[in-house]
Structure 1
Amino acid sequence: MTIGVPKEIKIGETRVSMTPSLCRRCVMLGAKVLLEKGAGLTAGFTDAEYREAGATIVGDTARVWRSADLILKVKEPLEAEFELMQEGQTLFTYLHLAAGPELAQQLLKKRILGIAYETVEGLDGSFPLLKPMSQIAGRLSIQIGAYFLQSQHGGSGVLLGGVPGTMPGQVVVLGAGNSGAHAVQMAVGMGARVTVLDLDSRKLEAMDTEYRGRVVTLLANPSNVEQEVARADLVIGAVLIPAAKAPTVVTKKMVATMRPGSVIVDIAIDQGGCIEGIEPTSHEQPVYAERGVIHYAVPNMPALVGRTSTLALTQATEPFVTTLVRKGVEIALDENKGLALGVNTRDGKITNAAVAKALGAA
């Protein structure tokens, strides 16, 4: 098997899909690794390290795509990469097809076997390849929100932790999954007042037990969401339905009730966002203001910490990548049901029900 590792081209992307350590493991198992020159530099890995691990360093992006049986990436292919995909190739990356109909059409047209990190399942029904990036995005969301709340960025000038004699900032977290739980952890650590809303009472009970009353937990019904968003300094959208388009939880009308200079960070933007009408932003232009409220909606937030994100991601993907190398794609998918659940497109068809429904192909 030949594995191609192209350089990520999404704006501000610093992660790489393979570390020198994973490269060495794949080569030892008999794979050939073609790595685009400089692919790991922004994550702190040099070409020399990959070369020492057994990779062939390639200066031509097209050659990496053209020569590989398996393309290993971090982010979904962008329009400039569509023509590089080869008929019948296997692609293993985050796909987020519910928010990317154009990419879905290209994968179907070229009969790409598209395995999405975000729908691969563990033995316990969890999503092990989504988890580390969700955790990082959750932690970053508070860091980012605190930054844009500063007055020089147009924020309301609220310090989340406050100081004696002042009220701490109010953080509202929508969703108590991986990203939401880590956002709560960071916000509590900074000394903010924190409210978390979710539809799953068991998650709320667990959070109440963990924080011993330091976090307010509420059922995520429209009335509670409306009330909490209106009084928030920082709203974190952390609602996720794996593979499906994120549901709209906060309406434009709710956003209009927020105090000018308040901040929204929508972690769910990869899946279309959970804030009505929110538009994706980029690391170059991360925010925009609407009705006086600052919106942050960068789809590849974990790229802000490329080294940590790469190590966390590849630690999670390694068992699946090595299984593909050892057994070959077909046998690996046949024997590993969790990996097989990661297949979103195959033989010109969408094979994931949630993706098909989101794209109107169900």
Structure 2
Amino acid sequence: MKIGCPREIKPQEFRVGMTPDAAREAVSHGHEVVVETGAGLGSGFADADYVAAGASILATAEAVFETAEMIVKVKEPQAAERARLRRGQVLFTYLHLAPDPAQTRDLLASGVTAIAYETVTDARGGLPLLAPMSEVAGRLAPQVGAWALQKANGGRGMLLGGIPGVRPANVVIIGGGVVGTAAARVAVGMGASVTVLDRSVPRLSYLDDVFLGRLTTQYASAAAVAERLPSADLVIGAVLVPGAAAPRLISRAQLATMQPGSVLVDVAIDQGGCFETSRATTHQDPIYEVDGILHYCVANMPGAVARTSTQGLGNATLPFLLSLADKGWRRACAEDPHLRAGLNVHDGQLTYAAVARALDLPCVSADTVLAA
């Protein structure tokens, strides 16, 4: 199979869809890999690294899209990239379709077969291609929140860990999954006073055991969230409904109950955001203020640490990438129900129910597509 890796064109996105190691593995399986020149530079990989791995370097994104039978990316295809997709081609990347009707329409119109990293599953019910980026975003969230709390950046002027005689910042993390756990680990390590809210009592029990009482756990009712806001200096939204739009957990009216200069970090912004006042921002212009409350809503947070993120993502995606290339998408999805869960679009049909519900569009099952 001819596998193509274009340079990411989303603003301030420095990751790349394939590492040189992944290219070498694919070439060793008998596949041809083409990479757009400069695609890996943001992650510290030169064109020469890909050539040494057996890949070919092409001068333009157009050439990559024209040559490749499968396109491997990181972020959802931008409008210019969507115009280059064609029927019969496979797209393997993050999609996050539920809050993005324009992208969904374009993918359906292209006829492409699109497999979304974020809905591929594993035997434990996890999301193995989302997990490494969730780990990165979770660990970054307290770090960027601490930066935003600095007075020069518009925040309350608080040190996350405090000092002897001065209380630390109160950090409220809504969601105790991969993102929330990673965020809690860093926030606790920085010396903050941390509360994690989640709707799973077993998960709260797990966090209580793992952190040995160094954080507070609370059931995530609407009343509990409202109760925590007046004393919160930093709120991290870490909720996820796989493939669907994120639930809105904090309304604009509730911002009035928070202290001016407090910070909201919305890690769920890729899925539409979990705060009513959230809107996607970039690394170049990451924060904005609404009613005195700072919002950090960067839609590709892991892109800030591109080398770590690219290597972590590459480790997770490689087995699935090789399966798709070795067997073809149809056989690979037929034989692996976890990869099949990643199928979101095929030949003008939407194949993921949560996205269809979010966008009020018709849907066919992946099993139906495979049986056709």
Q: Same fold (TM over 0.5)?
A: yes
Between the aligned partners of 2:231 and 2:38, the Cα distance in structure 1 is 46
Between the aligned partners of 2:156 and 2:259, the Cα distance in structure 1 is 8
Aligned partner of 2:319 in structure 1 is 319
Which AA in structure 1 matches 2:150? Answer: Q
Between the aligned partners of 1:21 and 1:212, the Cα distance in structure 2 is 39
Aligned partner of 2:366 in structure 1 is none
2:235 is paired with a residue of what secondary structure? strand
- Aligned pairs for 1:1-12 (under 5 A) are 1-12=1-12
Kept in 1: contact 2:22–2:318 (CA 8 A) = yes
1:69 aligns with 2:64: no
Aligned partner of 1:25 in structure 2 is 25
Which AA in structure 1 matches 2:130? Answer: L
Between the aligned partners of 1:228 and 1:350, the Cα distance in structure 2 is 40
Kept in 1: contact 2:87–2:113 (CA 8 A) = no
C-alpha displacement of 1:90:
0.6
Between the aligned partners of 1:22 and 1:90, the Cα distance in structure 2 is 18
Q: How many residues align?
A: 362
C-alpha displacement of 1:284:
1.1
1:99 aligns with 2:99: yes
Aligned partner of 2:232 in structure 1 is 232
C-alpha displacement of 1:277:
2.8
C-alpha displacement of 1:166:
0.5
- CA offsets, 1:247-280, max 9 Å, x none? 0111112222111111110000000000013111
Aligned partner of 1:164 in structure 2 is 164
Which AA in structure 2 matches 1:61? Answer: A
Greater Cα shift, 237-246 or 251-260? 251-260
- CA offsets, 1:322-349, max 9 Å, x none? 1112212221111111111100011211
Between the aligned partners of 2:196 and 2:123, the Cα distance in structure 1 is 28
1:204 aligns with 2:207: no
- CA offsets, 1:125-149, max 9 Å, x none? 2110000000100000000000010
C-alpha displacement of 1:212:
2.2
Aligned partner of 2:287 in structure 1 is 287
RMSD (CA atoms)? 0.8
Kept in 2: contact 1:88–1:110 (CA 8 A) = no
2:98 is paired with a residue of what secondary structure? helix
Greater Cα shift, 311-320 or 79-88? 79-88
- CA offsets, 1:5-31, max 9 Å, x none? 000001110101101111011011111
2:195 is paired with a residue of what secondary structure? strand
TM-score (norm 1): 0.99
1:33 is paired with a residue of what secondary structure? strand
Aligned partner of 1:145 in structure 2 is 145
Between the aligned partners of 1:68 and 1:298, the Cα distance in structure 2 is 30
- Aligned pairs for 1:74-223 (under 5 A) are 74-223=74-223
Kept in 2: contact 1:230–1:254 (CA 8 A) = no
1:98 is paired with a residue of what secondary structure? coil
Between the aligned partners of 1:230 and 1:310, the Cα distance in structure 2 is 38
Aligned partner of 1:42 in structure 2 is 42
1:164 is paired with a residue of what secondary structure? coil
Between the aligned partners of 1:197 and 1:136, the Cα distance in structure 2 is 20
Between the aligned partners of 1:61 and 1:35, the Cα distance in structure 2 is 9
Which AA in structure 1 matches 2:218? Answer: L
Kept in 2: contact 1:237–1:274 (CA 8 A) = yes
C-alpha displacement of 1:66:
1.1
1:16 aligns with 2:12: no
1:99 is paired with a residue of what secondary structure? coil
Which AA in structure 1 matches 2:146? Answer: A
Aligned partner of 2:302 in structure 1 is 302
Between the aligned partners of 1:79 and 1:40, the Cα distance in structure 2 is 21
C-alpha displacement of 1:87:
2.2
2:122 is paired with a residue of what secondary structure? coil
For structure 1, which runs of at least 5 residues remain unmatched after alignment?
none
Between the aligned partners of 1:277 and 1:151, the Cα distance in structure 2 is 22
1:109 is paired with a residue of what secondary structure? helix
Between the aligned partners of 1:213 and 1:89, the Cα distance in structure 2 is 51
C-alpha displacement of 1:184:
0.5
- CA offsets, 1:202-242, max 9 Å, x none? 11111111122221111111111001122110000001001
Between the aligned partners of 2:108 and 2:46, the Cα distance in structure 1 is 35
Which AA in structure 1 matches 2:191? Answer: G
Kept in 2: contact 1:93–1:116 (CA 8 A) = yes
- CA offsets, 1:173-219, max 9 Å, x none? 00000000000000000010001101111111111111222211111
Which AA in structure 1 matches 2:171? Answer: V
Aligned partner of 1:247 in structure 2 is 247
Between the aligned partners of 1:191 and 1:198, the Cα distance in structure 2 is 21
For structure 2, which runs of at least 5 residues remain unmatched after alignment?
363-372
